Amino acid sequence: MHRVAVIGGDGIGPEIIREGVKVLDAAGARFGFDIAWEEFPIGAGRYLETGELVTEDDLKDLGKFRAIYFGAIGDDRVKPGILEKGILLAIRFHFDQYINLRPIKLLDGVSTPLAGKTPEDIDFVVVRENTEDFYVGIGSRLIGTERKSLEVVRQMYQVKFELDVESDADELAYQIGVITREGATRVIRYAFELAEQRERKLTSVDKANVLTEIYGLWRDVFTEVSRDYPDVETEFNFVDAVTMWFVKNPEWYDVLVTPNMFGDIITDLGAMIQGGLGLAPGGNINPGGTSMFEPIHGSAPKYRGLGVANPLATIWAGSMLLDHIGEHEAAAAVLNGIEKSILEGVVTRDMGGQAGTADVGDWIASYLSSV
């Protein structure tokens, strides 16, 4: 018996999570395990009614689970950023989900915008650091009334870079990126362990030629950790080069490890080359704590309740969840079921089919019952 927390969230979230639960229950019935689901009413509806985002009680209760199955967050009635920061990011940071795991895999039957590329060419994984870098939230906007603070920043520029910030500037903004040795070490080591299980090749992504301090530390840590994994081939890539090679030669990559901000960017590019956001799952992982699995697309409020949303990314995230809790055979079967549904044409309109959200879930659940 596995216990899993469920947060349907907003928009199409509850609908796509419903299909994911259906498929994972079918996988459990086929492979001999049960999942006890516990739903949490966290999202825009509760926020608009009570003003609550994620409460201390929510976090305490969620911490009793090894895995959270998450739908989507975002609502037109709420200012952008409130729900995303107050719910999604709050959960990630509270449970120290320091790994964002993103498989970039072209399934058979899916078209890619990259000419001539096949499923054999596009099959890699991005390991993104998930709690540091420029997303730590350290920064400010200084206006003319804060002359003292503005002067401090101007002096910093003059001393460090011999640059002069205009003395009559009435507003200035800054953001600080932070990477710690501990934070870099743990995610890089995770990536090496993953690379050992795959093709034994690991690419480190950074921009150390410009941001020399923060990503210089990243490179130092990568080099040090690599000594513990002599069988893994390693290389450094600048992030701008990675965006080019993802498009030209995605077959070069197996596992990539990247700081937070660059990982956010290149994984969306990866989603497009694997067939679009409707096929892109993600895991927010704390190997020793509570992890969360979700599709990476938004909540699409205008499609809420219409039964047309694509549940495949959510079902794929469910496959990742099963893998995380040790049900590896079932996880592989779910991913195979996704691929079979695509080959059979049981897909939603965004993928050129006529199936509804529930139709896709029903078909994959039925497939799992028969394998």
Shared-domain flag, residues 74 and 128: no
Shared-domain flag, residues 119 and 260: yes
- Domain endpoint, select from 256, 273, 290: 273
Please give the backbone phi and psi of residue 201, each rounded to the nearest 5 degrees, phi first: -140, 130
Shared-domain flag, residues 229 and 120: yes
- Residue 171 is predicted with a pLDDT of 73
Low-confidence residues in the chain, pLDDT < 70: 144-170
Please tell me the pTM assigned to this model: 0.91
Burial of residue 196 (CB within 10 Å: 0-12, 13-18, 19+) is middle
Q: Are 295 and 357 in contact (CB under 8 A)?
A: no
Helix/strand/coil for 155: helix
Query: From the CB of residue 307, how many other CB atoms can be counted at a distance below 10 Å?
Result: 14
Q: Are 11 and 70 in contact (CB under 8 A)?
A: no
pLDDT in tens, 66-111: 999 999 999 999 998 899 989 998 999 999 999 999 999 999 999 9
In percent, how much of the chain has pLDDT > 90? 85
Write the CATH number for 246. 3.40.50
Write the CATH number for 62. 3.40.718.10
Asked if residue 309 belongs to a domain, the reply is: yes
- Residue 133 is predicted with a pLDDT of 86
Asked if residue 206 belongs to a domain, the reply is: yes
- Residue 158 is predicted with a pLDDT of 60
Shared-domain flag, residues 158 and 237: no
- Residue 111 is predicted with a pLDDT of 93
Shared-domain flag, residues 233 and 300: no
Query: Which H or E element spans position 178?
Result: strand 171-178
pLDDT in tens, 112-122: 999 999 999 99
Q: Structure tokens of 265?
A: 């960017």
Please give the backbone phi and psi of residue 354, each rounded to the nearest 5 degrees, phi first: -120, 0
Characterize 142-160 residue by residue with b for buried, 16 or more Cβ atoms within 10 angstroms of its Cβ, and e for exposed: beeeeeeebeebbeeeeee
Shared-domain flag, residues 226 and 121: yes
- Domain endpoint, select from 232, 254, 273: 273
Shared-domain flag, residues 225 and 257: yes
Domain that holds residue 146: 138-175
